């Protein structure tokens, strides 16, 4: 079987290998099957490849099932489809997941439909895998807690009439259904709530930080809104993958864990980092809008407390500047 490091671009392979070089004990997955949904996303791809690299490095014999809602997964994984330790599942709503046997599930992206919620929970009831289910920080809504960060026990207001709140409402519903099922049937489900994960690219999404990275790669001036100073938690993709695996292995059933690094930034700060990091190519920032003053009635900023995650032994290995350098390096490499 071809070594994964020969099947991936050099910088990307080196970046993903850092996950397997963390303190995670991959032998706990030995000869087990791990199903990873949203495998075409950046975080999904990194997580899938980390398990494959563990097979190469530690001979763990892990079988990976990479699931996604589009058959584009085959082109996304390219040469990796040659390997015998990975299978692919194309599924819109997990309706055909029952043909797959998984010992562990990492559900990268929250569900988009009620059917997806029902089918996944039904599968877990029947097959009893250990599961980590992801939400994103938008699950919290508008929190007013008089503190400078959001804790797992905080839940704020979501306007059900706003289309942009639909995903967060579904995430809440998914968590509630999964918790009820976990308690009623003794299922091994825990939850992670992700802050902004950043890296070389978020496949299928268009995070605003990618525009900054794209301008750097193209050696253009960075166009940014003067008002884009809203702070939020960020975590580099390799640290996010490590956090999810730690929660899967060591987290408690029915518990939720914020996934954040402790680093806080905004697009404005990311742009300023890029100006300093790539000053040899003369990157400049162009402000395209007047600065906006935040209301004193604004909700708690999108900064996630990660005390519970650190109690599992997690420590962030990648600061913002290092993550930016790695991401831009990988984007350059992909551009050729």
- Per-residue pLDDT tens digits for 180-191: 999 999 999 999
In the chain the first and final C-alpha atoms are separated, in Å, by 27
C-alpha separations of 173 from 113, 114, 147 in Å: 10, 9, 26
Contact status, residue 216 vs residue 280, Cβ threshold 8 Å: no
The beta strand positions in 169-328, using DSSP E, are 189-194, 196-198, 222-224, 232-236, 256-259, 263-265, 285-287
Under DSSP, the state recorded for 200 is S
- The C-alpha atoms of residue 254 and residue 187 are separated, in whole angstroms, by 9
pLDDT given at position 204? 46
Contact status, residue 62 vs residue 55, Cβ threshold 8 Å: yes
Q: Domain spans of the chain?
A: 4-198+237-260+303-318
Structure confidence by residue, pLDDT tens digits, 125-135: 999 999 999 99
Strand 33-36 and strand 104-107: the pairing is parallel
- The C-alpha atoms of residue 106 and residue 33 are separated, in whole angstroms, by 11
13 by DSSP, 3-state: which? helix
- The C-alpha atoms of residue 184 and residue 291 are separated, in whole angstroms, by 51
Confidence of residue 72 (pLDDT cuts 50, 70, 90): very high
Q: Does domain 4-198+237-260+303-318 have CATH number 3.40.50.720?
A: yes
Residues near 281 by beta carbon (within 8 Å), at least 6 away in sequence: 216, 219
What residues does 65 pair with on adjacent strands?
A: 35, 87
Q: Residues 5, 6, 12, CA angle at the centre, nearest 5°?
A: 50
C-alpha separations of 11 from 143, 202, 274, 327 in Å: 39, 17, 19, 9
Confidence of residue 50 (pLDDT cuts 50, 70, 90): very high
- The C-alpha atoms of residue 8 and residue 121 are separated, in whole angstroms, by 34
Structure confidence by residue, pLDDT tens digits, 289-334: 766 666 667 788 899 999 999 999 999 999 999 999 999 999 988 8
pTM of the prediction?
0.94
**Residue 19 parent element (H or E):** helix 10-20
Q: Whose structure tokens read 């402000």?
A: 287
Contact status, residue 212 vs residue 328, Cβ threshold 8 Å: no
Closest alpha carbon to 234 in 306, 303, 313: 303
pLDDT at 258 > cutoff 80: yes
- The mean of the pLDDT values for the chain is 92
């Amino acid at each position: 079987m071809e070594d994964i490091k020969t099947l991936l671009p050099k910088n990307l392979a080196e970046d993903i290998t850092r996950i397997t070089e963390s303190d995670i004990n991959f032998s706990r997955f030995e000869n087990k099957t791990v199903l990873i949904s949203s495998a075409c996303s950046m975080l999904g791809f990194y997580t899938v490849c980390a398990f494959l690299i563990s097979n190469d490095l530690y001979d763990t014999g892990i079988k990976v099932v990479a699931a996604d809602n589009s058959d584009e997964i085959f082109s996304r994984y390219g040469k990796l489809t040659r390997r015998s330790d990975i299978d692919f599942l194309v599924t819109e709503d997990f309706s055909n997941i029952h043909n797959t046997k998984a010992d562990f599930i990492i559900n990268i992206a929250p569900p988009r439909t009620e059917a997806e919620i029902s089918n996944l929970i039904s599968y877990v009831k029947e097959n009893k895998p250990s599961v980590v289910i992801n939400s994103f920080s938008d699950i919290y809504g508008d929190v007013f807690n008089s503190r400078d960060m959001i804790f797992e026990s905080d839940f704020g207001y979501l306007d059900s009439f706003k289309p942009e709140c639909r995903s967060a409402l579904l995430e809440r519903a998914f968590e509630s259904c999964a918790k009820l099922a976990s308690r009623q049937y003794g299922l091994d489900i825990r939850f992670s709530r992700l802050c902004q994960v950043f890296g070389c690219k978020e496949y299928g999404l268009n995070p605003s930080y990618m525009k900054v990275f794209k301008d750097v790669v193209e050696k253009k001036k960075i166009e940014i809104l003067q008002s884009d100073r809203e702070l939020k938690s960020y975590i580099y993709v390799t640290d996010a993958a490590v956090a999810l695996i730690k929660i899967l292995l060591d987290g408690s059933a029915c518990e939720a864990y914020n996934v954040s690094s402790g680093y806080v930034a905004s697009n404005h700060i990311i742009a300023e980092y890029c100006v300093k990091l790539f000053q040899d190519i003369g990157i400049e920032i162009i402000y395209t809008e007047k600065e906006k003053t935040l209301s004193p009635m604004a909700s708690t900023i999108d900064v996630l407390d990660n005390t519970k995650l650190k109690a599992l032994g997690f420590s962030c290995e990648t600061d913002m500047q290092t993550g930016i350098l790695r991401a831009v390096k990988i984007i350059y490499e992909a551009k050729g």
